[in-house]
């Protein structure tokens, strides 16, 4: 495997304070090393990848924290005729569909709010209902809708978009317009960027909690609330945002990322919130938090910077705040990834290596055992906001892996049998 060395990763880390320079250096270097390490194949995997799509359309799902499959084997996916190697546009709708195992369309809905990284945050509430984000043209605001397969219609509409939900109890919302301004990969393009005065308003922006049954909305946690926890001088005058809300399995708490940017520097922090009263706890303040997943109601698995400034997969006890390393058996050579946990195992991926291959890996977080599932080519035409991370997810029974990939030159949602 032609992975990046520790020295190369250290250089990339040092260039973080110079984003534009890092982007240019990364582009030039990756093309140079690709010529030397190019492979003769586009993919290898333990079983044949099955594209989940309609005709020649591209397809994609969303983030790694949600499985596209419900317990009955029906799959949620976005499909489009658009070129997904170019930026998404609020004027160009895509279709959110429900497909059966034969790729037959059971539901087809037009949506206008989406991005290539997280789709429209569509996910199943149960075997019948799914929730997803959209744009209300009349009110000029982001909203979310709930669709029922049994009733064959929309059964709920909320005036706030969803970031994560706990069955049909509540969901957490955030400001996607702020995301568009500061991290467009995860924002929507129906509304313009925030102006500076809006970006600097930290008291009236943050996270909202929405009651599923009543629709009641509570402004739950403000950006200023979080800045006041472990405040440092470099937060003053910085641009702040929240992202990646993930609710615990029992729904009584959730984690989220606080990221702030100043003078080209980016700082990440991971926080825990009580879902009942909004009480906050700072879990990680080492400067980098990448991708996390709940193992159980008290343990988070995440790729982040831990003690001694080590970037790795860590187990984080939310009660004690203790960081514990995973048993090492070679996972560290793959670098950052998107972990989706089921039982003692998690599936994760890697970013493109020197041969432009993205790796799909199964790992036991208790024993450190690793199983390589496959590798998939990622072309240079998909870059920046239009990149295609594998974002692997497991089915409910753990027998199938779902992932997005562009190894054919077109973005598609795939599944492989494990």
Phi then psi dihedrals of residue 311, to 5 deg: -90, 120
Element housing 401 (H / E): strand 400-405
Query: What is the predicted pLDDT for the residue at 5?
Result: 66
Inside any domain, residue 129: yes
Tell me, what CATH number does 143's domain have?
Answer: 2.130.10.10
Instruction: Judge whether 167 lies within some domain.
Output: yes
Q: Contact 341/365 with Cβ under 8 angstroms?
A: yes
Give per-residue pLDDT as tens, 178-193. Answer: 999 999 999 999 999 9
Nearest to 90 by CA among 135, 143, 122, 139: 135
Q: Is 314 left (phi over 0), alpha (psi -120 to 50) or beta?
A: beta
pLDDT of 23: 67
Tell me what the mean pLDDT of segment 70-82 comes to: 97
Judged against a pLDDT cut of 70, whether residue 4 lies above it is answered with: no
At 24, is the pLDDT very low, low, confident or very high (cuts 50, 70, 90)?
confident
173 falls within a domain: yes
Q: Does 378 fall in a domain?
A: yes
Q: Which tens digit of pLDDT belongs to each residue from 386-404?
A: 999 999 999 999 999 999 9
**pLDDT (0 to 100) of residue 26:** 72
pLDDT number for residue 329: 79
| Pairwise CA distance, residues 215 & 213, whole Å | 6
pLDDT above 90: residue 27? no
Q: For residue 10, name the pLDDT band (cuts at 50, 70, 90).
A: low
Q: What is the mean predicted confidence (pLDDT) over 214-238? A: 97
Say yes or no to pLDDT of 71 above 70.
yes
Question: How confident is the model at residue 29, as a pLDDT?
Answer: 80
Task: Please write the tens of the pLDDT for every residue from 87-132.
Answer: 999 899 999 999 998 999 999 999 999 999 999 999 999 999 999 9
* Residue scoring higher pLDDT (10 or 59): 59
**104-115 confidence digits (pLDDT tens):** 999 999 999 999
Residue 8: predicted pLDDT: 60
Pair of tokens at residue 311: 């970037």
pLDDT digits (tens, 9 = 90+) for 280-305: 999 999 999 999 999 999 999 999 99
CA distance 11 to 409: 30
For residue 290, what are the contacts with CB-CB under 8 A and spacing of at least 6?
Answer: 268, 302, 303, 304, 336
Confidence check: pLDDT of 348 > 90? yes
Domain assignment of residue 15, yes or no = no
- Looking at the domain assignment, is residue 27 inside a domain? no
**What pLDDT was estimated at residue 1?**
46
On whether residue 9 sits in a domain, the answer given is no
Q: What confidence tens digit (pLDDT) does each residue in 29-45 have?
A: 888 888 899 999 999 99
Residue 398 falls inside a structural domain:
yes
pLDDT at 3: 65
Q: Region 335-346: what's the mean pLDDT? A: 97
Residue 7 has pLDDT above 70, yes or no: no
Specify the pLDDT at position 32.
87
Q: Domain range for residue 150?
A: 39-417
Lowest mean pLDDT among 19-28, 154-163, 221-230: 19-28
Q: In what order do the strands lie in the sheet with 105-111?
A: 58-60, 75-80, 94-99, 105-111
Mean pLDDT value across residues 263-288: 96
| Dist. CA 289–CA 335, nearest whole Å | 13
**Exposure of 236 by Cβ count < 10 A (0-12 exposed, 13-18 middle, 19+ buried)?**
exposed
Domains of the chain: total? 1
Residue 167, pLDDT > 90, answer: yes
pLDDT value of position 341:
98
- Single pTM value for the model: 0.92
Mean per-residue pLDDT, 238-267: 96
Average pLDDT, the chain: 94
Q: What is the C-alpha radius of gyration for the chain, rounded to an integer number of angstroms? A: 20
Which pLDDT band, with edges at 50, 70 and 90, does 12 fall under? low
């Amino acid at each position: 495997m032609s992975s990046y060395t520790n020295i190369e990763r250290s250089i990339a880390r040092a260039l973080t304070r110079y984003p534009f320079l890092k982007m240019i250096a990364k582009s030039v270097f990756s093309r140079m090393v690709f010529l030397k390490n190019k492979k003769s194949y586009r993919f290898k995997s333990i079983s044949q990848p099955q594209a989940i799509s309609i005709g020649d359309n591209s397809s994609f799902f969303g983030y790694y924290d949600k499985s596209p499959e419900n317990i009955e084997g029906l799959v949620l996916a976005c499909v489009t005729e658009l070129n997904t190697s170019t930026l998404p546009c609020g004027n160009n709708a895509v279709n959110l569909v429900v497909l059966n195992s034969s790729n037959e369309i059971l539901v087809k809905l037009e949506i206008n709010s989406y991005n290539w990284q997280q789709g429209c945050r569509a996910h199943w509430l149960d075997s019948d209902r799914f929730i997803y984000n959209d744009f209300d043209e009349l009110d000029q605001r982001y909203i979310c809708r709930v669709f029922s397969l049994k009733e064959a219609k929309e059964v709920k509409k909320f005036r706030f978009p969803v970031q994560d939900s706990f069955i049909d109890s509540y969901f957490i919302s955030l400001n996607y317009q702020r995301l568009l301004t500061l991290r467009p990969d995860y924002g929507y393009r129906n509304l313009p960027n925030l102006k500076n005065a809006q970006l600097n308003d930290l008291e009236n922006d943050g996270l909202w909690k929405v009651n599923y049954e009543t629709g009641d909305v509570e402004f739950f946690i403000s950006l200023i609330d979080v800045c006041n926890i472990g405040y440092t001088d470099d937060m003053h005058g910085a641009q702040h945002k929240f992202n990646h809300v993930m609710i615990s399995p029992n729904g009584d708490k959730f984690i989220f990322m606080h990221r702030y940017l100043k003078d080209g520097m980016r700082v990440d922090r991971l926080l825990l919130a009580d879902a009942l009263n909004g009480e906050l706890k700072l879990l990680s303040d080492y400067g980098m938090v990448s991708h996390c997943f709940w193992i159980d109601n008290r343990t988070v698995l995440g790729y982040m910077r831990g003690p001694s400034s080590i970037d790795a997969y860590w187990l984080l006890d939310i009660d004690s705040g203790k960081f514990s390393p995973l048993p090492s058996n070679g996972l560290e050579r793959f670098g950052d990834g998107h972990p989706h946990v089921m039982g003692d195992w998690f599936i994760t991926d890697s970013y493109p290596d020197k041969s432009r291959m993205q790796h799909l890996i199964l790992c036991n977080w208790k024993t450190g055992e690793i199983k390589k599932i496959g590798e998939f080519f990622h072309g240079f035409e998909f870059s920046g906001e239009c990149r295609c991370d594998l974002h692997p997810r497991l089915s409910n029974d753990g027998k199938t892996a779902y992932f997005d990939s562009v190894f054919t030159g077109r973005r598609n949602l795939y599944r492989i049998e494990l």
